[in-house]
Structure 1
Amino acid sequence: MNHAFPWAELTTPMYEAVEVKHHKKWVIVGSWILAAVLIVGGFTTRFKIAFVFAALLVLTMISKKTVMITERGLESFMEMRITSQYELWKWSEIEALTHQKLAEYPGMVQLYFTKDVRTRRLFFTEKDAAEIRKLAKQKNSKIRVYDGTAYMDSYKKQQQLKQQAKQKGRKK
């Protein structure tokens, strides 16, 4: 996997997304076992499609995805043994950016990038997230920036009020 990253020539600040949910060891081991079972099944049964599924599973397990926020926008690069894939969401195409802090990931902020009907959720350090919000406004003045934490607090409060009203209705 010696593919050069598309953003390698950039000299401006770049922010790499942090992977917060790593696969558990049993998932990785189980995936390799399943790949072996599919290969054996391809040899021993008449269902040769098992080879295709085994190949896809192995390719998925050995691939590596890197997501970077740059001056150009949101850049995704997927590296595989046989090929690579690059996707760029330009700042002009990104319509909304929502930031939210989660208690289960201290020191991290999740950012939702919305382009048309697609949304990508990525995690960044608090410092990087603040810089990304500034960069987004600088590169696209039309981008809408939302505070997901305030929205969720308001939503939870609304749900509690509904629950209380429901309980009062039952007591009568």
Structure 2
Amino acid sequence: MNIAALVANVIQLLIILAVFFIRGLDLGPLVIFLLFLLMPIPFINFLALFFSKRPILASRAEDVDGSNGLVKREAVRVLYEEDRCPVLTVGDTAYTVRDLSEGGVRIRAGAEMPFKKKFNGDIRLLSGDHIRFKATVARREEGEVVFKFTEPVGTAILMEEKKALAAADA
């Protein structure tokens, strides 16, 4: 939309200048006066486009959150049900995984569960893969804890896990 407006403004300015320079003083004082009145309009439009808060090349409409205009990030996320979920092991304690993404994991754990600020763990996935990770506690929610990985999990591993989960559903 904004690119079309830029092109239209450039064309409008070129037409005004072409008429003025081709015909010159033959146009008469009234027409010359009107051309000078019209010349600032493309410049005002340029300023409005460049100082608007929207980018000139907007993202696709489905990627933009309507409430605040932020672009939603794309991430592979695997959601698990109660009966089929991987096991996350920290030390000698095992937890059930509720949600796994490239950047972190959410587990079912009580608020009293002690976790260090940084720790190492292991996730045994339904696909048979193992993920060894280093993480930090991002937040504690009602009966759940969210960890943020220091290094993201590969998308290929998550896609294999989605395939394994879909195969188990079939």
TM-score by length of 1: 0.26
Report the TM-score, using the length of structure 2 for normalisation.
0.26
Structure number with bigger Rg: 2
Higher relative contact order (CA 8 A, sep 6+): 1
